[in-house]
Structure formats: structure tokens, C-alpha cells
Structure 1
Amino acid sequence: MTFRFLSAAALVGALAAPVLGEETADYATPKEPAIASPYTYAKSGAKAERAKSAGEAGAKVIGGEVAADGAWPWQVALLVGGAPVSTESQFCGGSLVMDRWILTAAHCVHMQQDDGSYADLWPQDVAVLVGTNQLAEGTGDLIPVEAVFRHPSYVGGGFDFDIALIKLSRAPQVPYQTIEVPDAEYGDILNQQGVTTIVTGWGLQEGGMASAELRQAEIQVLDRELCNTAMLEARAEDAAGGFGYAVQTLGVSEADAYAIWDELVARAPKPVSENMICSGTFEGGKTSCNGDSGGPLVVPVEGGGYIQAGIVSWGLTGMEGRGCEETALFSAYTNISKFVPWLNQVIEANP
């Protein structure tokens, strides 16, 4: 059986929404993406300890709201294997794309080892909670994992090619739905500035509090180049001081220094690659956060229903270097349409 996806002939209702203006946003200086393992964070107990000291804040995903019971029936939670169902054991999200197949982020299942190397989680390290919006004992169906498949081009500690599949040991025994993903042509239609998107998850809320209730936030696709410009300008600003010191110390002429700097900036890789979708708001304050990783970014389609365009991949760290930047204008999501051939290959090879 091949992986299900919608063709470009399908029309997305979100494209009818007004496209954002050409004006540039007043970007706050973004911090770098966090690279800490969400699995290790949950298993170590650090997530539970952080929750104890979290400041009192609005009970919502950053800028979001509580999802209605039964909403987003393809959403699943990844939990530390063998641990009770709770916010402390939940470390990532995912989505049901077939009865026994979960789509998630590669960085959710590819962990750094004690010797510094990276390796995939063993199936027994993970359990998947299906069919509930509540992280509580006795809710949903907690299903063992049969196999984990990380995209072969994903490199530990990075975020490009950030996609993975998890095969469940059995189909869920509670009500659920699967969600479709777009092919490459339809994916290009969805990845346009102004398209409405919705991100869901149990990630940290404002103030660093964990959420036992599934939450949602409506955001928009932003132009990838605008997001890259914001990130690269921030990186250049951080690097400028050290570069100026080196120029003075080495006695490099002003003309040569400018030429070297321009070449250096031109060679810097773009943080938001073509394999990613940039989504957020120009006013900021709506974003995914720790624990949302691997979850779905969906787009409403004409006539009702949704299609999953992205996977929560990375966001900007807070000003203190931990947690999320709660005023961030955007987060990055894996563009699923770029990986449909790989998804089909894995599923067909593992019936």
C-alpha cells in the first residue's frame, strides 16, 4: 500500500486569505535553535523539575488555545517507554498518516549518546498515545512501537531532513483518523506567504509550564527568505565584534576587511532550508514550543478538512538560552511534500 497524499488539483481554501503586505517586519534579534534532545529532557526528569518552578502564566501553547475534545484526531503523543502517561513522560508529538504509521521529526528519535555519537531510539524506548487530547492515565490507547525509521540524510544535532516514521505494533483500538500529506506540486501551493496554518501539541506554554491538554495556535506561512534574512542578520551581528577584533589584530586594510566580510556572509548557510516551511506571525507571540516537536502543522482545505503540510522542527530559544522565545515571529517546520518518495519507500518496504 502506498502512502496517501493529495494532488495539486485539490484547492486549498487558505489561499483565499489575503496575502501579507510587502512591508518588512520589525524582527527582534532571534536566538539560535535549541538542539537538546527532547527524549533525554523528559527521561531525565528535567521536564518535571522545570514545571515545578515555572512561572504562573496563561494556560496556552504560546499564543494558542485549548483544542476542543475530539479535534485533531490524527495527533499523537510520543512518551518515554515504560513511563506512566503524563506531561513529564511526553517528549514529542506526531501524526497518524496510516493505521500503523506515525509521522514525526527525526530529532525526536535520534539521540546523542554518552560518547558524543548519535543513534536512533530503540522501539522499546518509545510508546505512542493515540486517540486523546488529554495526557492522563486511562485516556486514549498507549501502543508499543515496532520500528523506528529516521531519514538517512538527517544528521544528529541539525534540523535539515528532520523527518522520521514510527511503525506501531498494532492499529489503535480507540477512535482516530489519519491525515493526508501533499505531493511536491501541491506542497509548493501550500508553502506560500499568507497561507493559514494551525500547529497543535502539548508543548510548554507561556512561562515554561507543561500542558496536559492539547492546544492549538493559528499562524501563517511566512516568506522563507524573510525568515532567513532575520536569522542571518542576527548571526552577523553576533559575529561582527569578533571579526572586527581579528581585523584590527591582524592589520587587515578596511577595503580587504569589507571584501572578506561580504564573502563570509555570502557563504553562510541559510538556516531555513528549502526542506523547511517558515510559519508564524509578523506581530509574533504565536509559536510551537518544547514538546511540540514532531507534531503536525496543518492547512485547512476547501470544502472542509485539513492536510498536513509540515512537521514541527525547530524554534528560537529564549533570551536566557533555554526554553522558547515567547515573542518569536516564526518557527521552522519540515516540508513534508519534499519527502513523499522516501515515505512511500519505507512504508512499502515494511508491510
Structure 2
Amino acid sequence: MTGSGCCFAAGLLLLIGLTGGDPIPRPCVTPSGSAGQCVPLEQCSNLYAIKQLSPANAKNDLLKRAECDVLPAGKGVCCQPERIFALPEKCGLASYDRIANGNETAVFEFPWMALLMYRDTLEDELTPNCGGSLISDRYVLTAAHCLTENAHSKLEFVRLGEHTISKQEDCNNYTLDGVVELDCAGPVEDVAIESVIKHSDHRRKFGGHDIGLIRLARKIVFKDHIQPICLPLHPELKNVLLPEYYVAGWGYTENMERSDVLLKAKLERVETPTCQKQIDEVARTSRKKIKITLDDKQICAGGKDLVDSCQGDSGGPLMWLSKVRNQSRYVLFGVVSFGIENCGLVNFPGVYVRVGSYLGWIMSNMKA
């Protein structure tokens, strides 16, 4: 067996062991007649996407034909080996076990934060212009408009494990028996990009479908300061709208300067009709006459406080602690789309792509 094949088999073995199933995936025959392996539905990217996207009759027929016994407690699907992709079993868990007070985050608080680094071709300088969320050992989820290159800016790499941009080492201070101790994170990792995928229906910055994936050039080894966030895979998470969320990023301070430190804010969700009305009002008085029409694949949040609405980055996460596998974990509910750059305007909420509406697209575009 080759090195990559060995690692692939070992990964499947570990995952199925963790979920309480058989130690080795059972062989099976797919609906198309090819050899497959019996795995949980969420590990089979094309069948999971079909469940999310296809009409009920068509998807029910195909999924029924693909059914197989995978776990003692339930059914799985017969999946082509090249379509098997397991999201990390451990996700949304921060090694720092409480939310820091104030707008500045603690080191380790949101270890899935990604910083997208761009090359300014005029000045030949690197600048962080967007954020993202690590969702697996190979993928970062971000906004589609962050992946659109222009003549003067080119996405060069993704930085993981960052907290304070200007520091070489990020540490939390705490006192133990009257002695000040340091709890320091490992170094940042600047990871090259293998490919990017933008949603094909995204047309402009203020339009819908503002979601994209970055496939990293290598697999990430998770550490305390570099961890993935959970996706809202379960139906009760996929469809829920919460009253409030956290947003985080290297956004803008109250002085409208780019922050050197990872910031966060708790934002109240704004009902879509109210949000549409507020955006229309701002658009009427703006020099740029842009028509923005919201839909149910977007979430509005914030806009009441000048500071709170400025903390995020385009492409960064809108998240909240939710129950996943009987444990509180952070779940990625939204991706910052627009509104952050207008954070100096009162009553201009941030608009976020609703991740639950794009699970099929996300899974169908990810590979092992």
C-alpha cells in the first residue's frame, strides 16, 4: 500500500472506531454498480450533496438504493471510495474554556480563525484583507468575493494560528499561587493554496451566494491553537436561526483603524424584513446606488453599536456554541459577506451567508 493509501485507510479506521462502528468499512456495491464502502451519509460527499440539493422523489430513490448497514445504531450509504470524505470528529472545541471579557479575544479562544494574505502588486507588500474558517485539515471556508482577484491584489497564502499580527509569540497571562505564568501558542502557519472554488452563482460583492472554499496545499496537523470549527450538519442546526451570534476577526477599532489583535463581538440577529428596510434606507442616502435584495440564504446581525458591528472580517465566521454530539461546541452558522466595511454607519447590519443553506455545495466541492 502506498503512503497516501495507508494514511487514508488509517484515517477511516480511526474515524469509524471513534463513532462506535465496525473497525473497517464494509465493502458494498453502489447504485451505479461500482465497488464502494459503507460509510455514514455525511462522509459521502456526492450523496450528501444530493440529499441537500435534489428534489425529494429523486433523492429518496437514490439514497434508498444506496442504503447499507454501517453502524450498530443506524444505516449508512454505499459510497465510491474517491467520494469518501470525513469531516473532523473533533471540531468547535477551543482549549481556552471561557469567553474573554471585552472585544479582544484570548489566545486559543477561536483556533479555527484563518487570515487570508494578499500580495499588493503595486507596493509588493503582504496585507491581510479577508478572514476565513478552518473546517477540515485541507479546507478553509470564506466569502466568494475574497477569492476574486484584481489587477493590484493577489491571494498568496492562508495564515493559521494567528492572534496578534505584530507579535512573534502569542501568550495568555494567568496567576497561579501568586506567580504570573504564561500559556503560549505555537507559531503561526502560513499555508500555500492548492485551489479555490467560488460559488458559480455569485456575481458581485453585494449579491447572494457569496461563499467559497480554499483547498490548502497540504494537510494541517491540528494543534491547540489550530483547530477546525463544526459545520451545522444536523437538521436542527442547519435550519435554526439564533437570537444572537459571535463574530470574530481582525476588523476595525472604534477609531476605524485595522486591528492588530483578533477581536470579537456578540451580535443580535436582525429579522430579514427589518434588515432589508435598514439597508434600503442607507442605500437611498448613499452616493453608490446599489440595489441589495436579501433572501433566506442570508442572515443579518448587528448594526446597533458602532464597535460591535466592526469586529469581523469579510469571509470570517458568524458562530455560536451549540450542542454537537452531546457536547457544547462552536458551530459555523454564517460567513461575513458585506456590511463590515460600512461599520461606521448606525443601523447598517452586517449581512452573512447562511452556511446551513450551502451544506450540499460545500460537501460536493470537498475531497479527501
Same fold (TM over 0.5): yes
Contact 2:146 2:314 in 1 (8 A): yes
1:178 and 2:224 are equivalent in the alignment: no
Secondary structure (helix, strand or coil) at the match of 1:232 reads: helix
What amino acid is the match of 1:201? G
AA matched with 2:298: M
**Hey, what does 1:128 align to over in structure 2?**
158
The aligned length equals 246
Residue-by-residue CA offset, 1:28-64 (whole Å, 9 max, x unaligned): xxxxxxxxxxxxxxxxxxxxxxxxxxxxxxxxxxx96
Range that drifts further, 230-239 or 331-340: 230-239
Instruction: Tell me the residue number matched to 1:29.
Output: none
Written as runs of structure 1 = structure 2, the 5 A alignment for 1:303-318 is 303-315=327-339, 318=342
- Is it true that 1:297 corresponds to 2:318 in the alignment? yes
SS at match of 1:69: coil
| Residue type of the alignment partner of 1:94 | G
- Name the counterpart of 1:21: none
Shift of 1:281: 5.5
Q: CA deviation at 1:186?
A: 3.3
Deviation at residue 232 of structure 1 after TM alignment: 2.5
Residues 1:188 and 1:230: Cα distance change in structure 2 (over 3 Å) = farther
Query: Gaps spanning 5+ residues in structure 2: where?
Result: 1-42, 50-100, 169-186
Matched, 1:340 2:351: no
Distance 1:154 1:126 in 2: 22
After TM superposition, list the pairs within 5 Å mapping 1:141-290 onto structure 2: 141-173=189-221, 175=223, 176-183=226-233, 185-187=235-237, 189-192=239-242, 195-235=243-283, 271-280=293-302, 282=304, 285-288=307-310
- For residue 74 of structure 1, report the CA deviation from its aligned partner: 0.6
Amino acid at match of 1:332: V
Report deviation, 1:130: 0.8
Partners in 2 of 1:92 and 1:64 — Cα distance? Answer: 23
The answer to whether the 8 A contact 1:131-1:174 is kept is no
Cα deviation per residue 1:261-304 (whole Å; 9 max; x = unaligned)? xxxxxxx9653222210011556642136x70001010121452
Change (3 A) 1:334 1:130: same
Separation (CA, whole Å) in 1 of partners of 2:352 and 2:263: 17
SS of alignment partner, residue 111 of structure 1: coil
- The residue that corresponds to 2:85 in the other structure is none
Q: Secondary structure at the match of 2:310?
A: coil
Structure 1: tracts of 5 or more residues without a match: 6-62, 115-120, 243-267, 319-323
Partner Cα distance (1:329, 1:156) in 2 = 19
* Contact 1:182–1:337 (CA under 8 A) maintained in structure 2: yes
**Following the alignment from structure 2 to structure 1, what is the Cα–Cα distance between the partners of residues 205 and 338?**
11
Task: From 108, 116, 125, give the equivalent of 1:70.
Answer: 108
Equivalent AA in structure 1 for residue 188 of structure 2: G
CA distance in 2, matches of 1:203, 1:285: 10
Partner of residue 15, structure 1: none
- Which has the higher Rg, Structure 1 or Structure 2? 2
Compare relative contact order (CA 8 Å, sep 6+) and give the higher one, 1 or 2. Answer: 1
Q: Would the aligned equivalents of 1:154 and 1:161 in 2 still touch at CA under 8 Å? A: yes
Q: Does the CA-based 8 Å contact 1:159-1:314 persist in structure 2?
A: no
Distance in 1 (CA, whole Å) between partners of 2:236 and 2:156 is: 32
For 1:111, which of 121, 143, 149 is the aligned residue? 149
Question: Equivalent pairs: percent with the same residue?
Answer: 24
CA contact (8 A) 2:313 2:340 kept: no
- SS of equivalent residue, structure 1 residue 344: helix
| CA deviation profile, 1:163-205 (whole Å, cap 9, x unmatched) | 000011112356121111224843564325xx22000000222
Q: Which residue of 2 aligns with 1:44?
A: none
More strand by share: 2
Report if the CA contact (8 A) 1:96-1:178 is conserved: yes
Would you say the 8 A contact 2:254–2:307 is kept in 1? no
- The answer to whether the 8 A contact 1:104-1:311 is kept is yes
Cα separation, 2, equivalents of 1:339 and 1:174: 25
Normalising by structure 1, report the TM-score. 0.61
